[in-house]
Amino acid sequence: MYEYNYILNKYDKQPKFTSRSPQDFGASMVSRQARKKEDVPLFIPAIMDGKGRKNENVEYITMIVVDIDSDIRFLGFPNKNRIRPEWENITYFCYTTFNTSQRTPKWRMIIPITENIPAAIWMKGGWDASMKIFGEMFSINEKEFIDKSCKNPARAYYYPSHPIHTGEPKQLWNYGKILETSEIYKRIEERKPKKIKKYKPLYTPKRGKDSEIAKKIELEKCPAARKQFCKDAGIDTKTIQSNDGSINEVGYGFTCPNCRRSDATFIYIDGVNAHCNHRNTCGWSDSLYNLGVYWGMYR
Ligand SMILES: [Zn+2]
């Protein structure tokens, strides 16, 4: 059963709950003639707490609804061949909306899901993940076509309608497998920034051991010592031009002690510390002295 709410018109503040079988739902979504779209009732693909039509009163989202109604970027009303093969068997309902025209196609796609999504999750990544699925279905970058304002959980959508005499409504129903809600959760996870592997300093110099402190400071302050460090450690150096135009000499290509990759490591000869530039997945940095101890150069 599909569970959702409807309101009689856009001023109706009290959503009414209903649930229908897929076939009854499809039948209720057949386009009706209307003088203006405001004469048509609306549905809210959500379960609400009964306290009125507000975003904070939405408990669950029960269906994905995608609105294609941009005046700038068009996506034609689809036929079954337009949908990528891996998605062609899922259940969906597409229909043209009141203001559609040959030149500016406007339509809506409803995709029922196996399990309702808590509104809080919908707001925190669920909507974006659902729109991404739509993008995958049509092999498009969904961000170019979809308006962010549709994210509101209490958003209401007009039932299908068309102007009297002039309208030529289109609909495309597909009764197949219901989209697994886990597909949405999977994409929420994929979009989260990757966890960075934590690293500890390679070495902590003994307190009060003057020779260690002196060496550490020398490697922090003295380019000649840093250059010698690279030489002693077998690290190649080269000069590079930075974005701001400055020329810098760097040591590069050593194995990162944290992530073990060597394609993004660097040491500025005139700079501080050694670094791994895989910022999103590693981001390691430590002093040359600690690196030297770690490599057995000083003990
Ligand atoms: Zn690394």
Do 258 and 118 share a domain, yes or no?
A: no
Ligand 1 centroid to residue 223 C-alpha, Å: 23
- Quickly tell me which residue has 């009706």 as its tokens: 32
pLDDT tens-digit map of 21-54:
999 999 999 999 999 999 999 999 999 999 999 9
Ligand 1 centroid to residue 241 C-alpha, Å: 22
Ligand 1 centroid to residue 66 C-alpha, Å: 41
Task: Answer yes or no: is 199 within a domain.
Answer: no
Task: Please give the average per-residue pLDDT across 225-245, as a whole number.
Answer: 91
Do 178 and 79 share a domain, yes or no?
A: yes
Do 54 and 121 share a domain, yes or no?
A: yes
Rounded Cα distance between 166 and 171, Å, is 16
Task: Answer yes or no: is 239 within a domain.
Answer: yes
Q: What is the band of 262 on the pLDDT scale with cuts at 50, 70, 90?
A: very high
Do 253 and 145 share a domain, yes or no?
A: no
Ligand 1 centroid to residue 256 C-alpha, Å: 5
Q: What is the band of 70 on the pLDDT scale with cuts at 50, 70, 90?
A: confident
Q: What is the band of 5 on the pLDDT scale with cuts at 50, 70, 90?
A: very high
Ligand 1 centroid to residue 284 C-alpha, Å: 5
Residues 6+ apart with CB under 8 A from 295: 233
Do 75 and 162 share a domain, yes or no?
A: yes
Q: Which domain holds residue 281?
A: 210-294
Task: Answer yes or no: is 254 within a domain.
Answer: yes
Structure confidence at residue 31 (pLDDT): 94
Do 107 and 240 share a domain, yes or no?
A: no
Do 272 and 182 share a domain, yes or no?
A: no
- Quickly tell me which residue has 């000869």 as its tokens: 269
Asked if residues 5 and 48 have their Cβ atoms less than 8 Å apart, the reply is yes
Task: Answer yes or no: is 269 within a domain.
Answer: yes
How many domains are there within the chain? 2
Do 275 and 218 share a domain, yes or no?
A: yes
Q: What separation in angstroms does the CA of 129 have from each of 35, 78, 122?
A: 36, 21, 9
Last residue in a domain, options 162, 191, 220: 191
Residues 6+ apart with CB under 8 A from 31: 95, 96, 160, 161, 162, 167, 169, 171
Which of 42, 33, 51 lies closest to 9, judged by CA? 42
Do 216 and 186 share a domain, yes or no?
A: no
What is the pTM for the complete model shown?
0.67
Ligand 1 centroid to residue 254 C-alpha, Å: 10
Strand, helix or coil for residue 135:
helix
* Sheet containing strand 157-158, strands side by side: 16-20, 2-7, 42-44, 157-158
Task: Please give the average per-residue pLDDT across 57-80, as a whole number.
Answer: 92
Ligand 1 centroid to residue 214 C-alpha, Å: 27
